[in-house]
Amino acid sequence: MYQDAEGKCWWKGNLHTHTTRSDGLKSPKEAEALYRMNGYDFLAITDHWKFLETRQENGFLLLSGCEYDVGKAARAETGIYHIVSIGAAQEPSLKRREGLTANEVLNAIGEAGGFAVLAHPAWSLNRPDEIEKLRGVGAAEVYNTFSGLPWNGRRADSSGILDTLAAAGSLLPFVAADDTHLYAGEECRSFIWVEAPELTAGAILASLREGRFYASQGPKLAVSVSDGKVQVDCSPVSAVIFYSNLVWSAGRVIQGDSLTNVTYSLKSGENFIRVEAIDALGRIAWSSPVAVGR
Ligand SMILES: [Zn+2]
Ligand SMILES: [Zn+2]
């Protein structure tokens, strides 16, 4: 946890973790101990089709979780969707069957009080026009550690797909997550910071629904937009990048030593803006896209 300049508390968590309850190599207890030791405040254990309930012990919050998938292993007409349920009050009422749709999964997660995250859209080869038809997605993974090298090629980064979606007017909030399976270097890498008055399932869930979080691998980030300017305050980084629906924008990339304070002037025609801050070790923090110029 850290406190920002206004005294608000930001809690660190990973929303996508597998254990021996499905195809992960550590037990839930071992996974919890590992994340806790690495400074995390909360964790969701999201084994494939195995729901685990919310529990809070000794200052660490385990949010209920489960990962559901629909579609075949090869990219088919129906698409492939992996959807993670976070913090549902009870197990979503779902049975694995052929023909199950992503919207049925999202609906069941919503009815059970869960927050739904679209997992690794780049890995799943999701298309923006298909994501647009989904109802009840709370956030999408802009980065999924396990979809990257050396475990899974180079499909960790979904920002291109999510930018195309945002340019068309559908702004999904961004999370980053490890999707831990092997505990072979993918653990404790990509996470979210959530702003909440206290570390309880209720408070974290409320903040997730209100978009009071950002994705990171290390840098801390605060972004505000007013009077045609985007103001970024961050922990020391070596680059800040502003992404929008414009394919070209002057002043989009700012590089330097230990940047902590950067401003960007919005350009005519921009309909959304988002920020990446990258530190000297190459670790990224991502803001969610925000609508501008309307
Ligand atoms: Zn998955
Ligand atoms: Zn997974």
Instruction: Give 120's pLDDT tier (boundaries 50, 70, 90).
Output: very high
Residues in a beta bridge with 69 = 82
Q: Which residues surround ligand 2, an ion (CB under 5 A)?
A: 67, 179
Q: Say which ligand is closest to the CA of 17.
A: 2
* Res. 218: pLDDT tops 90: yes
* Res. 99: pLDDT tops 70: yes
Of residues 72 and 264, the one with the higher pLDDT is 264
pLDDT of residue 226: 95
Integer Cα distance of 254 and 89 in angstroms: 44
Average pLDDT of the segment spanning 58-65 = 96
State the CATH class of domain 221-291. mainly beta
* Res. 75: pLDDT tops 80: no
| pTM greater than 0.95 | yes
Q: Is 113 left (phi over 0), alpha (psi -120 to 50) or beta?
A: left
Cα(246) to ligand 1 centroid in Å equals 31
Task: Give pLDDT tens digits for 144-192.
Answer: 999 999 999 999 999 999 999 999 999 999 999 999 999 999 999 999 9
Integer Cα distance of 278 and 258 in angstroms: 10
Separation of CA 35 from chain center = 17
Q: Say which ligand is closest to the CA of 15.
A: 2
What is the CATH T-level fold of the domain 2-216, as seen in this structure?
TIM Barrel (3.20.20)
Q: Which residues have a Cβ under 8 Å from the Cβ of 84 and sit 6 or more positions away?
A: 15, 16, 44, 46, 65, 66, 67, 68, 116, 117, 119, 177
- Domain residue ranges in the chain: 2-216, 221-291
Instruction: Give 294's pLDDT tier (boundaries 50, 70, 90).
Output: low
Cα(292) to ligand 1 centroid in Å equals 32
- Contact present, 89 and 53 (Cβ < 8 Å): no
Average pLDDT of the segment spanning 235-258 = 97
* Res. 50: pLDDT tops 70: yes
* Res. 232: pLDDT tops 70: yes
